[in-house]
Amino acid sequence: MAGDTEVDVTPEWVRERKGEVQLVDVREDYEYEAGHVADAEHIELGLVASRAEDIDRDTPVVFYCRVGSRSAMAAHAFRRAGYEAYNMEGGLLAWAAQGLPLEPDDGSVADH
């Protein structure tokens, strides 16, 4: 995985590890519905702490949002709680800008 102190990972890093990491989308419902990474679990930022038990402690977790600021807060909080947690740098905008796939097939990155 990334270095012990390195929280930010690139969309390419995430793509290469799909299936090995948990993906958690911390955006609002309407943002998630507009487009998201396949197999990402949707837990809004405001609910992430209360749903921590739904996130496997033994599997690295990557949080993402639109640009990476909301997900960075989640990643840092989960790191402090002992998880191997990462933030997808640049968020879904960076993912889409690299031509990586969104769901649904006609998905897009919603405005915040």
Task: Report yes or no on 1 lying in a domain.
Answer: no
CA 94/CA 83 separation, integer angstroms: 24
The CATH number of residue 16's host domain is: 3.40.250.10
> What are the tens digits of pLDDT across the range 28-40?
999 999 999 999 9
Asked whether residue 110 is assigned to any structural domain, the reply reads: no
Domain count across the chain:
1
Residue type, 4: D
* Rounded CA separation 77/82 (Å): 9
CA distance 1 to 103: 25
Q: What range defines the domain where residue 31 resides?
A: 8-97
What average pLDDT is seen over the chain? 95
pTM of the model: 0.94
Confidence bin at 4 (pLDDT 50/70/90) = very low
